[in-house]
Structure 1
């Protein structure tokens, strides 16, 4: 194998795929990138066996071939190279030579045969989705997934495909984010997919918003591709909990608040909140929201914020970190909060959003200490 590639194209290819290289692995070849020549240039591929990413970049190929090269070292070398064409050649099955200007490196690779094959996803039954729509759903929901391994089903994002809409939902049992977009007669087969957030992050990162993605499903894998880049992911198996049951339909107390002011007050209160529970008390009255925090071994804090509130007075406790995360993804300057009782779920929605998408977040309250 022998080819010449610009430093910029080399860095572009590496940047696209290195996020799929596992930080730790017992299989040495997974720490490597697969580098292959193609009709259009060079294809870089990486996998951690759960997700796999490949991308093609232009290069002048002299001799076709394929080899795997240590990802970390190749990335470090590429970052430090001078702005000159990079010549890469592989002799035999393991030795790789890289030359750029006066710099020369020799690396030990591993044979192409040792690299895992990508999942078998057949694109003849594929459907198409605008990347921008997918990115919108991902960025507003994936933050709410669970990191706990005790309930693996909550470690994925539920992607519901219906004839006239698609929806993503994520929850960790204490907070939930749900967004729905109308779609024109979808070509996607109706169904529910549970996708790992790491794969969704690659989709959000790699595909430009204006691009149309081709998506196909294998037995337990999902594939996304554009003309130059592909992402494959293993799906999370099992039934997703019935999240509709926990979304309150009868909340009759409402508050309208300025998102920036609410965020600032929560950040101030968080400084004194417990590192374990992040609990703060919020007292809603007509016209005023009072914050208070007491942490025995640290101290106490209070603050006030003018708001529009309708309903009986309410004292309720929340994990400030969850509220701040939700507010970060609210797309409007004003937010609407609804409540029923101190022990019932509260909802947060964008106020005055003239977007066809529907967006709702939910957060469970914390019990206030007497």
Structure 2
């Protein structure tokens, strides 16, 4: 194998696959990147057996071939190279030479045969979705997934595909985010998929918003591809909880508040809130929202904010961190909060949003200490 590539193209390819290389592994070949020559240049691939990424970049190929090279060392070398063409050659199945300007490196690789095969996903039965639409769903929901290992099903994002719409839902049992987008019928099979957030992060990072993605499903894998890049991920298996049951339909009190002002007040109150519960009391009255926090070992704080509020007076406690996280992803300057009672779930939605997407977040209250 022998080819010449610009330093920039080499770095571009390496950064695309870097996130799929495990930091620690008992299988030496997983710490390597697979380099293969193609008709258009070279393809770089990496995997940790849960996620696999491959991308193609332009290069001048003299002799075709394939080999795996230690990913971390190749990245470190590429970062320090002078801005000159890089010549890479493999002699046999293990020795790789790399030349750039006056710099010369020799690395020990591993044969291509040792690299794991990518999952069997049939793209002839794929459906097509605009990358920007998918990224919008990911951005507004994946923050709410659980990171606890006790309920692995909640460590993924539920992706519901229907003929005319797609929806993503994520929750950790204390907060929930749900977004739905209308789509043109893709002709593909409908279904519910539970996708690891790490894979969705790669979709956001690697595919430009204007690109159309092909998406196909294998037995327990999902594949995403564009003309130059492909991402494969293992799906999380099992039934997702019935989240519709926890979304309140009868909240009869609502408040409309300025997102920026509410965020600032919550951040101020968080300074005094407990590091364990982050509990803050919110008291809603006609025209005014009062904040108060008392932490026995630390002190107390109070603040207030003008709002529009409809309903009977309400005192309710929340984890300020969860509320702040939800507010960060609200796409409008004003937000609408709805309530039923101090022990019932509250919802947060964008106010005055003209987008065709439907977006709702839910947060469970905390019991107030008198």
Shorter-chain TM-score: what band?
over 0.9
Deviates more, 1:182-191 or 1:353-362: 182-191
Q: Work out the CA distance in 1 between the residues paired with 2:26 and 2:300.
A: 48
Q: Work out the CA distance in 2 between the residues paired with 1:171 and 1:138.
A: 13
Q: Work out the CA distance in 1 between the residues paired with 2:305 and 2:79.
A: 48
The runs of at least 4 consecutive aligned structure 1 residues that moved more than 4 Å come to none
Deviates more, 1:273-282 or 1:50-59: 273-282
Q: Work out the CA distance in 1 between the residues paired with 2:68 and 2:167.
A: 39
CA contact (8 A) 1:214 1:225 kept: yes
Residue 45 of structure 1 corresponds to: 45
1:161 pairs with 2:147: no
Deviation at 1:90, TM superposition (A): 1.2
Q: Work out the CA distance in 2 between the residues paired with 1:91 and 1:127.
A: 41
Deviation at 1:6, TM superposition (A): 0.2
Residue 317 of structure 1 corresponds to: 317
Residue 368 of structure 1 corresponds to: 368
Residue 12 of structure 1 corresponds to: 12
Extract unaligned runs of 5+ from structure 1. Answer: none
Q: Work out the CA distance in 2 between the residues paired with 1:283 and 1:186.
A: 47
**How many residues end up aligned between the 2 structures?**
370
Q: Work out the CA distance in 2 between the residues paired with 1:279 and 1:48.
A: 39
Matches within 5 A, 1:71-110: 71-110=71-110
Residue 182 of structure 1 corresponds to: 182
Secondary structure in 2 matching 1:20:
coil
CA contact (8 A) 1:98 1:105 kept: yes
Deviation at 1:107, TM superposition (A): 1.4
Deviation at 1:186, TM superposition (A): 2.7
Deviation at 1:188, TM superposition (A): 2.4
Deviation at 1:272, TM superposition (A): 1.3
Deviates more, 1:287-296 or 1:6-15: 287-296
Secondary structure in 2 matching 1:283:
strand
CA contact (8 A) 1:162 1:186 kept: no
Root-mean-square deviation (Å): 0.8
Scaled by the length of structure 2, the TM-score of the pair is 0.99
Deviation at 1:95, TM superposition (A): 1.5
Deviates more, 1:130-139 or 1:73-82: 73-82
1:35 pairs with 2:20: no
Q: Work out the CA distance in 2 between the residues paired with 1:2 and 1:185.
A: 45
CA contact (8 A) 1:40 1:58 kept: yes
Residue 262 of structure 2 corresponds to: 262
Q: Work out the CA distance in 2 between the residues paired with 1:128 and 1:184.
A: 10
1:136 pairs with 2:139: no
Q: Work out the CA distance in 1 between the residues paired with 2:336 and 2:290.
A: 17
Instruction: Show CA shifts across 1:225-280 (max 9, x none).
Output: 00000000000000110000000000011000000111111111111111111111
